[in-house]
Structure 1
Amino acid sequence: MTVVDGEADPLRGEKPDLLLGEAGSGSAAASTLQARRASSGGPPPVWAQVPKGLERVLEPVAMVWGRLDRLTTRRYVTKVVRARLGEISGVCGPQVDAERILRERLKHRLAEQGSVPVTDPVGWLVGRALPRRALCPDGRCDDGRRMDNRADCAACQMLVLDGRGLRSRALARATTAMVDGRVDRSVFEAELNVCWQLEAASAAVRREQAARERHARERVWAEQRARYEAEEAARLALACTVCGKPETAGLCGRCRDERRVDELVAEAVDVAVATWGTGGEADRLDVVSRTERDMRGAVRQAVTDLLALGGDVFAEAMALAARLAAELHLGALQRTAVNLFAYQSAAQAEYRKVFATEMRRSHLHESLDDAREAAEEAAQRARFNAAHAVLNDRLRTVRDARTTVEADAEPDWYAQAAARVRSLIRPPAPDHTVSVRRSSPPAGQPTGAIGTPAVVGA
C-alpha cells in the first residue's frame, strides 16, 4: 500500500475511485484497501495520511481524508480544521476539550451521511462536516445543543416556542372559518402567513430602532472622542507655567522634576517628624532642619557627580538626577523608620501573637523545624506590617495637625462677613456727648487721673 505523506513516495497518476460514505477507522480503511487490492489485482491506490497532531480529531473521517490526493488541498483542509478548533476554544473557553467536540461533530455528520457516497471529499469536509450549524445567535450552539456542556440550547428552545406560539395564534384565527368542525388547511396557512408577516414587520421595526440607537450612540461617542482629542491637543499645546517652554502641557519635565524634589523633601520631613520629632517643639524643629539639610545635600551631591562626568549636561538631566536622588534618600529614610518601629512594643506584641498562632498549627508541617521556620517567617511579616501601620498612623497625625494649623492661620471668612453685617445693623452714633466727672480715686491711685472727664455716649 502506498501512503501519501508517509515514508513511501506516491506514484504519478494514481487516483483512487473508492466511494467512501460510511464511518470507519484506520483499521477499516486498511481492510477496504486490502479488499480493493485483492479484487483488482493492480497496484495499490494512493492513500492520504491524517496529519500528525490531528489523528484524534480526524479519526471518524479518516477514509474521506484518504481521498485528498493533492498536497495543497490537504494543507487547506488542515488549516480549516485548526481554525474550527480555535473557534471552539474561543467560544467555549480553554477549559473545554475542543478536539473531542470537533471529533463528535465529524462523527455526527458522517452518521447523517448514511449510505450516500461522498463524491466531493473537500467540499463535504469544508462545507458540511466541519462548520457549526445553528439557528440561534449563541456561538456555543451546534445542532441545537451546547458544545461546552452537551445540554439543550436555550436560545433554540426559545425559537421553537416562538414558532409554536405563532402557529397557535394562526390556528386561533383560523378557527373562525371552521367548516363542519374542521379547520380548512388553506385558511390556516393563510393565517399563518399573515402572522409570519406581522412578526417579520415587528422584527424589522425593532432592528431599525436598534440600528438608530446604535448610530446615535456611535455619534455621541464620536463627538466625545473629538472633544477629548481637541481638549488633549489644547492641553499639550500649553506652555510651561514656570519656565515658559512651549508645548509642554503646562509643565515641562525639568520643572516637574524640580517640583517633585520639593514634594519628596516635604515627605521626608514628615517621616522624620513622625519618627523622631515627637519629643517636643525643639526636637521637632531640629529634626526638620537636619532632615531637610541632609535631603538637599544628597540632591546637590547627585547633581555634582553628574557634572563631574564631563561633557554637556542638559538641565533636564540634572533635574532628573536630583529627583532620583531624592527618591532614594526618601526610601532609605522610610526603611530606617520602619526598622525602628518594628522593634517597639506594638510590633513585638504582633510578632509574638502570630508566632504563637502559627506554632499551634505545627502539626500541619513535616517537622518541628519546618513549623518553626514557617512561624518565624509569618511573625516577621506581621511585625513589619505592624511597623508600617504605626508609621502610617503617625504620618496621618502629623499631616492632620499641619492641616489644622494652616486652617487656623487662614482668615475666617464667615466671622469677617458676620462682623460686616453687625456693623451695618449697629445703631447710629449719638449726636451729643455728656461730660461726666469721675469721683475721687481711692487711696493709692495716681492723682493725675483726678478730675479727668470721661466722654460717654448718651
Structure 2
Amino acid sequence: MALGPVAGLWERLSGWQQGQVEAMAQAELTRLAGMLERPEMAQRLLADRFTDRLEETGGEALVDRPFPWLMRRGLVQRQACSDRRCDDGIRLDTGAECENCGNVVHIRRAKIAAEVDRQLPGLTEAERRRVFEERLREQAALEAEDFVWRREQARAEQARRDAARAAARKRAEREHEAAAAADAVRQALPCEDCGQDRAAGLCEACDHRRQTETLIGEAGLIAAAGSADLTDPGNVAAVTAGARTSIGDSIATAWQEFLQITDVAALEANPEAAEDAYACAAFQTAQQAVQEYQDNALVMLGRTEEAEAEARRAYKAEQGRPWFQHNPNGAGAVAAATKAADAARERVAGYLLATRLEQLRESPPPAPSRPWPRRGRTGCRSSPRARWTAVRPGR
C-alpha cells in the first residue's frame, strides 16, 4: 500500500536498489507508527506523501533518476517547522494543518512585508497593502506557471514513452514473425543423416544417435583417464575399445529388456518407430554409462599416490587445528580429520581426471566403428528388422 503510488518508479529500479528502498520505507513506516494513535495508518500516510511529492514533481515521467528521488525526496519527511509531527505543513498524527507552520507562514508574510518597507519606504498604508498583495500574486503566478510547465513536460514525456513502447511492440511483433518464418523454413528441412522429410534438419532418432556416439566416445576417454597408462597408446586404445564394447553390450541388453515389455509385432509393423525407440534406449544407456565411468574413474584416481598424499596432509592439518590440539586423537578430531582427508582425496581425483582427459583430448585414440547401423541418406533403413529380431528372446 505504501509504495503503490510509486509502482512505476519501483519497476525501474535494480534489485539492489529495490532492497534499499524497501528497507528505508520499512524504517519510515516504523517511525510513523510510533507517533500515531492508530499505527495501522502509517502505510496510508506514506502513500499520501508519495502522491503529494509526485504532484510537486509533475508526475513519474519527470523523475529521471528514480532511486535518488525515492531515497532523498519521496521517503523523506519535510518538516516545515520545528514540530517533529509536521510534514509539509500537515500534522502526521491528526491530518490537520500544522499550527506551528501557521506561525511560520505568518513569519514569511512578515518577511515580505519587511522587504516592501525596506525597498519602498514612505508608502502610504493603502499603497503598501497594494504592493504587498501584488507581490503575493506575482509569487503565486510564478508558482502556477511553474506547475503548468512541469505538467506539460510530464505529458510530453509520457507521450514520448508511449510512442517508444508502441515502436518496441511493433519491432517485437516483426521479430516474432521473422522468427516464426525462419522456424517454418527450418522445420521443412529434411534430416541430414537419413533424409526424413520435415525433420528440421535432424530427426529425433538421428539426433539421439549423434548424441549417443558422442557420449560413448566421452565414456571411453573417461575410462582411459581412470585406468589406462597414458604413455602407452596401445593401452589407451584397448581401454577405450573395451568401454565402447561394454556400452554396446549394455545397449543390446537394454533393448532386449525393452522388447520383453513391448509389442514386438507392432515394432515389426512400424520400422521407423522401432528405430526411434532403439535410438532413445541407446542414448539413455550411454548417459548412464558416462556417469558410471566417471564415478569409477574418480574412485580409482582417488587411490593414487598423489591423492593419498594430499589426504594425509589434510588429515594432519585438521588434527593440528587449535581447537583439536588438546586432544588430536579424540573422536571429534578424528572425524573432522577424516572428513578433510576424504574431501582432499576427492579434490585431487577430480583434478587428475580433468588433467588426464585434457591430455587425451589433445591426442584422442582412433574411434572404432559405430555400435549400430545407420540409416541411409535416401531414408531407407539398413535392415532394422535384423537388429531387434537378433536380440528378441527365442530367436
- Shorter-chain TM-score category? 0.5 to 0.7
Identify which of 306, 311, 318 aligns with 2:263.
311
Counterpart selection for 1:342 from 302, 317, 335: 302
* Pair 370,247 (structure 1): closer, same or farther in 2 beyond 3 Å: farther
Residues 298 and 325 of structure 1 are in contact (CA less than 8 Å); yes or no, is this contact kept in structure 2?
Answer: yes
For 1:155, which of 70, 73, 94 is the aligned residue? 73
Q: Is the 8 A contact 1:271 1:333 kept in 2?
A: yes
Task: Tell me how far 1:104 sits from its aligned partner.
Answer: 6.1
CA distances 1:331-364 after superposition (whole Å, capped 9, x unpaired): 2222222111111122112211221222122626
Give the superposition deviation at 1:387: 0.6
Provide the residue aligned with 2:342 in structure 1: 380
What is the CA-CA distance between 1:267 and the residue it aligns to? 0.9
User: Is 1:285 the counterpart of 2:237 in the alignment?
Assistant: yes
Q: Which amino acid aligns with 2:305?
A: S
More divergent stretch after superposition (101-110 vs 345-354): 101-110
Q: What whole-Å deviation, never above 9, does each CA across 1:172-210 have from its counterpart, x for those lacking one?
A: xxx9xx982766222322233233323333333333223
Label 1:136 to 1:366 Cα distance change in 2 as closer, same or farther (>3 A). Answer: farther
Matched residues in 2 for 1:352 and 1:138: separation?
67
1:322 corresponds to: 282
- Written as runs of structure 1 = structure 2, the 5 A alignment for 1:223-262 is 223-262=174-213
Q: Distance in 1 between matches of 2:184 and 2:44?
A: 54
Counterpart residue number, 1:300: 252
**CA displacement at 1:237 relative to structure 2:** 4.2
The verdict on how the C-alpha distance between 1:336 and 1:191 changes in structure 2, with shifts beyond 3 A counting, is closer
Q: 1:157-236 residue pairs with structure 2 within 5 A?
A: 180=120, 184-236=135-187
Given that 1:348 and 1:383 are in contact with CA atoms closer than 8 Å, whether structure 2 keeps it comes out as yes
Give how far 1:390 is off.
Answer: 0.4
Q: Report the identity percentage.
A: 20
Distance change (3 Å), C-alpha of 1:230 and 1:268: same
Counterpart CA distance in 2 for 1:287 and 1:298 is: 16
Secondary structure at the aligned position of 1:300 is classed as: helix
Task: Read off the aligned partner of 2:342 and give its amino acid letter.
Answer: Q
What is the number of residues matched between the two proteins? 282
Task: Judge conservation of contact 2:319–2:325 (CA < 8 Å) in 1.
Answer: no
Q: Does 1:359 align with 2:299?
A: no
* CA–CA separation in structure 2 for the residues paired with 1:86 and 1:298: 62
Q: 2-side partners of 1:228 and 1:303: how far apart?
A: 39
Tell me by how many angstroms 1:383 deviates: 0.4
After TM superposition, give the deviation of residue 276 of structure 1 in Å.
Answer: 0.6
Contact 2:2 / 2:46 at 8 angstroms: preserved in 1? Answer: no
Match of 1:241, SS state, is: coil
C-alpha spacing 1:157/1:106, structure 2 compared with 1 (3 Å): closer
Quote the Cα distance in structure 1 between the aligned partners of 2:174 and 2:240: 52
1:269–1:214 Cα change, 3 Å: same
Query: C-alpha separation between the residues in 2 aligned to 1:153 and 1:319?
Result: 60
- Deviation of 1:287 after TM superposition, in Å, equals 2.5
Q: Give the number of the structure whose residues are more often helix, by fraction.
A: 2
Higher mean displacement: 345-354 or 360-369: 360-369
1:222, distance to aligned residue in structure 2 (A): 3.1
Where does structure 1 lack aligned partners over 5 or more consecutive residues?
1-83, 112-124, 140-151, 164-174, 406-458
Cα distance in structure 1, aligned partners of 2:352 and 2:206: 34
User: What RMSD over aligned residues (CA atoms) do the two structures have, in Å?
Assistant: 4.7
The whole-number CA distance in structure 1 between the counterparts of 2:320 and 2:168 is 61
1:244: Cα distance to partner? 3.5
Q: Which residue of 2 aligns with 1:24?
A: none
| TM-score (normalizing by structure 1) | 0.50
Whether the 8 Å CA contact 2:190–2:202 is kept in 1: the answer is yes
> In the alignment, which residue of structure 2 is the partner of 1:401?
363
Following superposition of structure 1 onto structure 2, how do residues 53-72 of structure 1 map, counting pairs within 5 Å?
Answer: none
Q: What amino acid maps onto 1:298 in structure 2?
A: S
Counterpart-to-counterpart distance in 1, 2:25 and 2:140: 45
Partner of 2:48: 133
Cα 1:185–1:284 change in 2 (3 A) is closer
Distance in structure 2 (CA, Å) of the matches to 1:263 and 1:160: 68
Residue 154 of structure 1: how far off its partner (Å): 2.0
2:29–2:46 Cα contact (<8 Å) kept: no
Distance 1:265 1:352, change over 3 A: same
- TM superposition score normalised by structure 2: 0.57
Q: In the alignment, residue 213 of structure 1 is paired with which amino acid?
A: A
| 353 and 391 in structure 1: CA distance in 2 versus 1, 3 angstrom threshold | same
Other structure's SS at 2:230 match: coil
**Separation (CA, whole Å) in 2 of partners of 1:402 and 1:238:** 33
- The residue aligned with 1:273 is 224
Q: What code does the residue aligned with 1:210 have? A: R
